[in-house]
């Protein structure tokens, strides 16, 4: 029984950002499973140690902060399609949500100390990266 169960705000740090060919909203493919275009994760040097061991062929889950997302959205038309009924935002992958975190599964093409070249990054250029995790199979 929690009356005040937890602090209600936290701060996130950008561990890096992405470089992609998508320069503005609308350019990036939606849930681009077919987004085989190359992109790059640029890590801030302070976090370089955290990717030691990443290798070509690894599948990674990249957590992005959709800095252009609207945070006061609670219901959306799925995939932005207005012919579809409004749905609770937590039943969708809309970039507009209270905490605009997106998940993107990518495959590693090459790695250097602070750069990971990947396939499948469907975010716009400059999107902050907040975490990277291995894909569990």
Other C-beta atoms lying within 10 Å of the C-beta of residue 76: 21
Count the residues in the chain: 137
| 8 A C-beta contact, residue 121 and residue 68 | no
Using CB under 8 A, which residues numbered 44 to 63 contact its own copies? 44, 47, 49-54, 58, 60-61, 63
132 binds its own copies (CB under 8 A): yes
Helix (H, G, I), strand (E, B) or coil at 20: coil
83 binds its own copies (CB under 8 A): no
CA-nearest of 76, 104, 69 to 90 is 76
- Taking the complex as a whole, the smallest distance from the CB of residue 49 to its own copies amounts, in Å, to 4
Query: Interface with its own copies by CB under 8 A: which residues?
Result: 2, 5-15, 17, 19, 31, 42, 44, 47, 49-54, 58, 60-61, 63, 65, 67, 74-75, 87-93, 97-99, 101, 103, 126-128, 130-134, 136
């Amino acid at each position: 029984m929690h009356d005040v169960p937890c602090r209600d705000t936290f701060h996130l740090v950008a561990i890096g950002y992405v470089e992609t060919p998508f320069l503005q909203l609308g350019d990036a493919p939606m849930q681009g499973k077919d987004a085989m275009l190359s992109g790059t994760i640029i890590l801030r040097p302070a976090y370089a140690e955290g990717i030691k061991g990443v290798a070509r062929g690894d599948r990674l889950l990249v957590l992005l902060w959709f800095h252009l997302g609207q945070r006061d959205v609670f219901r959306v038309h799925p995939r932005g399609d207005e012919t579809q009924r409004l749905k609770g935002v937590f039943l969708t992958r809309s970039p507009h949500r209270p905490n605009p975190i997106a998940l993107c599964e990518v495959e590693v093409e090459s790695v250097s100390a602070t750069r990971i070249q990947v396939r499948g990054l469907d975010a716009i250029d400059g999107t902050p990266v907040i975490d990277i995790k291995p894909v569990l199979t």
